[in-house]
Amino acid sequence: MDDVFPFFQPVLAADTCDVWGYEVLGRVSTPHGPKSLVPFFHDPTVPAREKLEVDRLIREKALKVLMQAGPTRFTLLLNIQPQWLLPFLDNRERFLTLQYIESFRIDPEKIVIEISETEFSGDMEQLALLVDKYRQAGCRIAVDDVGCRLSNFDRIAALKPDILKVDTRLALASGYDQTAQNVFDILGFFAAKEGIDVVMEGVETAEVFRTGLKAGFRYYQGFLLGSPGPRPSICPNIRTLMRRELEQFADQEIAQRKSQFTVMERLETVARMYSLSTTPSELESILIDAVYDLPVNCYRVYVCDRTGYQITPNFTRDDRGEWKVDTSYRRRNWAWRPYFYPTVTLCRYFRRGVVSNQYLDLESRRATQTACSPLKNDLFLFVDVDVTCQ
């Protein structure tokens, strides 16, 4: 037991470019240097009681380090294996970690309890009761390894965590393609809607870091930003690296949005021509000529009313650059599309064109943004733009 000790891996915040906290990781001394205790904790032949004793010792030593550091800004992230603690759920005494926090006079708000539940197969109500023990003591709760298994969302709903720790193996397995980015975007959107912070784990390259930035993640952890060590520390160059990556990310995002202005300027020209028309047939005749003035990355044009019904045919550009008319889309309703009412509402309020967020078009399978511009009589001109051609 004397050979067991904690290591600390920094977690950095994008808003401050500085350390937000440290995750506590178990290590054991060997003749060849410190070794990870992950194989020990996942060894099915080791009794759970023995694992729990080692785990508690690591947490005690880590909390002592935090206590000895005095008043501090950083947070400590402690992993908890719920299957080891469930037998103690009905114990009237407080969990030993909570006793440490109290006796060491540590602010519980500086402690994040990571629920490592990928191996947990027990009752969700019991798991929620266990988590509440820590929450009632003032600790924050994180769900670890989000993205590793499909059951994460039911557990997130049951545990109502403060933090999600997203596993980047999802991106690594897919080669950083757009599908991985879309999944991260969904997690970021979900977290924002629920008021949950996100820690992106396993950040080993700048490319992975940027996928998290695009998804709106706030915290980052991985070998790119800092390796685990025996003391809470960080290389000063990491702050410079984060600032540089944030600035490059900002430049790319601004450049991408500037390219949208060209589409919107052309779209406003078409919208002004529409304002002179009075009938659907006049709208269509104007559109037949106007589509040729749009940039080459615009591939679909149509007009809808405010309730989502399409009142014109689809005007679609083919692979040769020629525009085709498809009347079968007339009277279809698009109010169910996620971009429809956000863009229409902004158009009606500001009386100018707006552009939706990026998505994958269901029919063309293109990475698309939809530009929307208001017309008279509560009609709206829509143009689908292939963002890969910008």
* From 271-280, 300-309, 321-330, 366-375, the region with the lowest mean pLDDT: 271-280
Q: Is the pLDDT of residue 151 over 50?
A: no
Task: Give the sign of the dihedral formed by CA 204, CA 208, CA 213, CA 219.
Answer: negative
% the chain with pLDDT above 90: 41
C-alpha–C-alpha distance, residues 156 and 224, integer Å:
28
For 89-139, where are the E strands, in sequence order?
Answer: 111-115
Terminal alpha carbon distance of the chain: 60
Distance CA 140, CA 164 (A): 11
Place of tokens 């600032």: 243
Write the pLDDT tens digit of every residue in 158-186.
Answer: 788 999 998 887 656 655 567 777 788 88
Average pLDDT over residues 270-275: 67
Query: Tokens representing 63?
Result: 């909390």
Higher pLDDT, 362 or 151: 362
pLDDT of residue 344: 93
The confidence band for 273, taking pLDDT boundaries of 50, 70 and 90, is: low
Radius of gyration of the chain (CA): 27
- Report which secondary-structure segment, H or E, holds 66: helix 48-68
The mean predicted confidence, pLDDT, of the chain is 85
Of the two residues 276 and 337, the one the predictor is more confident about is 337
pLDDT digit string, tens, across residues 229-241: 999 988 878 889 9
The amino acid sitting at 127 is L
List the domains of the chain with CATH numbers.
4-235 (3.20.20.450), 262-389 (3.30.450.20)
Is residue 73 helix, strand or coil?
A: coil
DSSP readout, 262-292?
A: HHHHHHHHHHHHHTT--SHHHHHHHHHHHGG
CA atoms of 145 and 168, how far apart (whole Å): 9
Q: What is the pLDDT averaged over residues 238-246? A: 91
> How far are the Cα atoms of 55, 86, 95, 132 from residue 92, in angstroms, in the given order?
21, 13, 9, 14
For residue 266 the two structure tokens come to 């052309």
Alpha carbon 128 to chain centroid distance?
24
**345, pLDDT greater than 60:** yes
pLDDT mean over 134-149: 82
pLDDT for the residue numbered 283: 77
- Distance between CA 223 and CA 21 in Å, rounded? 15
Least confident of 22-36, 108-122, 125-139, 264-278: 264-278
Q: In this predicted model, what pLDDT tens digit does every residue of 46-84 receive, in sequence order?
A: 988 898 899 999 999 999 998 887 766 789 999 988 777
